[in-house]
Amino acid sequence: MSESAPKIEGHCDERFLAVRAAFEQNFRERGELGAAVTVLHDGETVVDLWGGWADEARTRPWERDTLVNVWSTTKGATALCAHLLVDRGLLDLDAPVATYWPEFAAAGKDAIPVRQLLSHRAGLAGLREPHSTEQLYDWELTCARLAATEPWWEPGTQSGYHAFTYGFLVGEVVRRITGQLPGAFLQQEVTGPLGIDFTIGLPEKESARAAELVHPPAQASSEQAAIFAQLEPLALAALINPMLGAADANTPAWRAAEIPAANGHGTARAVAALYGILAGRGEVAGRQLLSPEAAERVREGQGACRDLVLGAGFKHETEVGLGLWLSGENGSYGPNSRAFGHDGFGGSCGLADPEAGLSMGYVMNRMGPHIADDPRKMALIDAVYA
């Protein structure tokens, strides 16, 4: 798909001009509609670019403060909530989940430790019974069903991507400890005090700033359909129970819900800032939000394997830390195998590389068919390190 690149706004340090070139190329050659990318190096903003359109009809330019649903890039923010509690001595990663959430002990899950929720190793990648979109919006019902269900595999032995369930599993532990849903806890402890423009869900008063998510182009949609047609029952339960896409994410009901695995809304600047907390080893603007030990713990590998849900989508085995994915042999977050981050369905991404002092946020509204390693994101990451 070849289109002339729109006017790109913002700034880019000379050292990182390759990022601007890749960003422009995404519009010309990779079907970008509207997008933004921000890169922080040692806490300083070295790239902050945006451009294109916030809606499919191309009536609203993408602005500096345009918000967009980032799907699973949200998981980094949810993991951060859990690690704040660990750092404060309120949550033990090796304690059984049932210590905090007694109902979770049902169906043989009494011994599953908290760390297996964060590392997608609890065997609860999806519900076995049909679960509608409306039911997903019901926090109490979704958590009750997860507490009652049995694992798909022996917990702790392998990882399988918990696409939607991750947010309810980790989020309910946060709620049991703090009395707050993750969105409120994040706002109170992190995004509010630091002025980070990111929310789980989207307050109605901010809806005018929200970009319209757009389905992938026809060819990409057919590629996605072909991928889903080959999925095993476990992967189907994880990824399409319920089936969600761009149209759902544009609705007031989705924005009003609390889906801590998938409905975070923010700017690229906000995503870079959140992941920058981890890239900075817990320090932000001279304030130690997390201890260095806690920030390091986020990327503590829990065992590499061919992921039971996403395995076919990667060249090599993957490894999840305690909430985020390691770059590994796939180079998903650059050449440092110990860099880490999270992708969002359709293309978005947050990245943290403590060794390089780098964090990045990339957000967009035209979704691609990829659950991870979208070519637009990879082009930007390659340019950052170049």
Average pLDDT of the chain to the nearest whole number: 95
Active site positions, annotated: 72
Residue 239 clears pLDDT 50, i.e. is over it: yes
Residue identified by tokens 């660990």 is 86
pLDDT tens digits along 288-327 = 999 999 999 999 999 999 999 998 778 899 999 999 999 9
pLDDT tens digits along 241-274 = 999 999 999 999 999 999 999 999 999 999 999 9
Contact 307, 160 (CB under 8 A): yes
Helical (H) or strand (E) element with 8: strand 8-12
DSSP result, 103-153: GGGTTTTTT-BHHHHHTT-SS-SS-SS---HHHHT-HHHHHHHHHHSPPSS
Residue 88 clears pLDDT 50, i.e. is over it: yes
Rounded CA separation 349/362 (Å): 5
The alpha carbon dihedral of 99, 105, 110, 114 has a sign of negative
Rounded CA separation 193/209 (Å): 21
pLDDT tens digits along 131-187 = 999 999 999 999 999 999 999 999 999 999 999 999 999 999 999 999 999 999 999
* Nearest by Cα to 79 from 324, 384, 346: 324
Report the percent of the chain where pLDDT is more than 90: 90
pLDDT tens digits along 208-231 = 999 999 998 766 656 656 665 556
Average pLDDT value for residue range 77-105? 98
Contact 235, 49 (CB under 8 A): no
pLDDT-derived band at 1, boundaries 50, 70, 90? very low
Question: pLDDT value at position 2?
Answer: 46
Residue 356 clears pLDDT 50, i.e. is over it: yes
Domains of the chain from N-terminus onward: 8-73+198-283+323-385 (3.40.710.10)
